Amino acid sequence: MSARDTILQRLRNRTGDQLPTPERDFTAMERPDWSTGDKLARFRSAMEPVHGEIHNCRGGDWVATLSGLLSDRRVSRMLVGSGAEPLATLRASTQELPDILVYDEPVENWQQHLFNDVDAGLTTTRGGIAETGSLILWPTAEEPRLTSLVPPIHVALLKASELFGTLREAMAAQQWSHGMPTNALLVSGPSKTADIEQTLAYGVHGPRELIVLVVE
């Protein structure tokens, strides 16, 4: 038996008293039971200072708001996931919208097109965190994470009813412990870095703009 095998065998044979699991105290993470209005206000006050843009919408009115925002920015092509929504709503709308590109094939097949020709990406969200002004993105095969990471403009749909006070509250309510994607994302603003001379720059490693449409 080699020295390595001897050490591993000793570890396997080790016995000892198992220490009890310490009591977990989460009281420091607890927050008041904020109303939806309070959560929206806190979400806005946390995200807007870091260049996140937030627009309140009513039901299907979000398409009209989206149309105006993209028109102002001269967006020609918008990337959308292949899931049923929001694709069906966009296709049924009479609003003037840019060309819609559907993410329905492996990135290897159209990598150059994705990185060079897409102006904006539209994603759904799993919810939001009021305390930190963060979006929860839950990438799937129908809505891969590159939809939000590559285009210069990221537009996210957030239901006001899916705003949580804290990250812990979201994790508990949505039962994250039962299963998560390989890449769950928390987005609190457009891409930014201060690597070069400690000067803050936006859009270096991802979207330079983040637009959140809060659907009430």
Would you state the pLDDT for residue 16? Answer: 62
Residue 77 exposed, middle or buried by CB count within 10 Å (0-12, 13-18, 19+): middle
Would you state the pLDDT for residue 18? Answer: 63
pTM of the predicted structure, to 2 decimals = 0.83
Would you state the pLDDT for residue 211? Answer: 98
Would you state the pLDDT for residue 92? Answer: 95
Q: Which domains does the chain have, with CATH numbers?
A: 34-192+203-215 (3.40.50.10420)
Would you state the pLDDT for residue 161? Answer: 95
> In residues, how long is the chain?
216
- The segments of the chain whose pLDDT lies below 50 read none
Q: For 115-145, write each residue's pLDDT tens digit.
A: 999 999 999 999 999 999 999 999 999 999 9
**What is the rounded CA–CA span in Å between residue 178 and residue 5?**
36
Contacts of 150 (CB under 8 A, 6+ apart): 79, 114, 115, 118, 121, 206
Any idea what DSSP says for residue 61? G
The pairing of beta strand 127-129 with beta strand 192-193: unpaired
The DSSP annotation for 112-177 comes to HHHHHH--EEEE--SEEETTTTEEEE---SSS-THHHHSSSEEEEEEEGGGEESSHHHHHHHTTGG
Residue found under tokens 């129908």 = 142
